Amino acid sequence: MGAQDEGVREFVIAGHRDLEKVRRMLGESPSLLNAAYQWSQSDSETAIQGAAQVGNAKIAEFLLERGAPLDICTAAMLGWGGDVRRIISEDAGQVMAKGAHGIPLLTHAAYSGDVDLVRFLYEKGAKTGTAAALHNAVSRGHVQVAEWLLENANPELGWKDFQGKTALEAAVAQRRDDMIALLETYSGSKGEHVRRFEGRADAYSKYRPKYPRGVVDSLAEVLGFDPGWVVADVGSGTGILSEVLLGNGNKVYCVEPNKDMRRAAEESLKGYIPMFVSVAGRAEATGLDAGSVDLVTVGQALHWFDPKGARREFKRILRSQGSVAVVYNHRRSESQAEKAYSDVIEKFERGRAEIPDVDDEYVADFLKNKGFKKFVIANSQSLDADGVLGRLASASYMPSPGSPEWVGVGEAVRNMFGEHGKDGVVTLRYDTLVYVGKIS
């Protein structure tokens, strides 16, 4: 290797991390600015490409100020969305551009923290390098980018970086609690609950029992709850509990990890905008600002949460005197129709998740406070045969409509109506349980 090549190599390596060395070397030898070092016959790299591939915005911007050309990978890393869109409008093929060492465009864009830019590039066809893009988002703590990739780009969670770490292992090493919670949500059994309701949002929205007005009355009695309170409804699903709170005039942040559920809520609750705010988040990492809400509500979802992570997050987002309300519709099984409904579930359920029973003891343990108030409110829903089928279809442990097993479910429901239906409907009764307390 000649002295000139060695100088280029040293400058390119400095372009990754060492701004002061870049300044000094460029001052001594301006020709290094656009010099490329040939790592192999098919792989060359300039200093600005080196800065772009490791997400070093300061070095990239310095080199651009000195006259280095702006390519699309560098623009994406910097989050310069206007330049990225201009380059693609001039040459659509640039969406498949790669930087040094063949690193894809999307991987560079993840460094920027710009969800809209990542989404734009992915939808334009930049769909390679999703696992590396996730790692880059993790390394910078860009939770929203990481979440978007997990929801939409299906990155391989077992993929390892040059240090031999998965994205979750990297987050653990960096002690990024919010990112750990996110990745655990989408990893293995801990991510199963997010996926269990895929394809069930429509049935859930239409056929799950509503919550009675008494929920709001209970909150008012215990807390003085009024329309001025800001609420985070966590694990909000399709917005069944959220709608009761919005109907009371409250601003509600609806935090939900499942995109199908979230989109169903966005459609059904759009009339409440701007008081309704849809948030892609989880109980353990809501994405809400610290001290931003007066009340956290949880409707029919506490059993899915990691108690320690959710408790920590609730304390973070609640204001100093904030409270938590846990609400469940507990189905009764006493009448003949109710028993028949339970029999259908028992016969056809499969893959029911191992989840805790949310009772007085569980709520006390979650809050670390036995001083909560509990209300029991009568509730019911009257359903025709299609409604009962829809109610069953909303359960994550029941066969999916259209599956071979669903034929048997339909036959069982017809038999149920033949024996217990009155005027074409059956009534299912519930005890709506409302727990109200503070996290100690």
Tens-digit pLDDT profile for residues 365-397: 999 999 999 999 999 999 999 999 999 999 988
Classified as helix, coil or strand, 428 is strand
pLDDT at 297: 98
Cα gap 216→248, rounded to integer Å: 8
Cα gap 253→231, rounded to integer Å: 6
10-residue stretch averages of pLDDT, the chain, 440 residues long = 76 97 96 95 95 97 97 98 97 96 97 97 96 96 93 90 90 85 69 66 94 97 97 97 98 92 94 95 88 97 91 95 97 96 94 82 94 97 96 92 93 95 95 97
What is residue 370's DSSP assignment? S
Rounded to the nearest angstrom, the gap between the alpha carbon of residue 355 and the centroid of all alpha carbons in its chain is: 21
pLDDT at 189: 46
pLDDT at 193: 59
Examine domains 3-194 and 201-437 and report if their fold is the same: no
Does the 3-194 domain belong in CATH 3.30.1370.60? no
Return the residue matching tokens 């949310």.
358
User: pTM for the complete prediction?
Assistant: 0.67
292 Rama class: left (phi>0) / alpha (psi -120 to 50) / beta: alpha
Cα gap 99→53, rounded to integer Å: 7
7-37 pLDDT tens trace: 999 999 999 999 999 999 999 999 999 999 9
Largest interatomic CA distance in the chain: 93
pLDDT at 188: 55
- Domains of the chain: which residue ranges? 3-194, 201-437
Return the residue matching tokens 């269990």.
196
- The answer, yes or no, to whether the previous bond of 274 is cis (omega within 30 of 0) is yes
**Which CATH architecture describes the domain 201-437?**
3-Layer(aba) Sandwich (3.40)
Cα gap 107→122, rounded to integer Å: 11
pLDDT at 57: 97
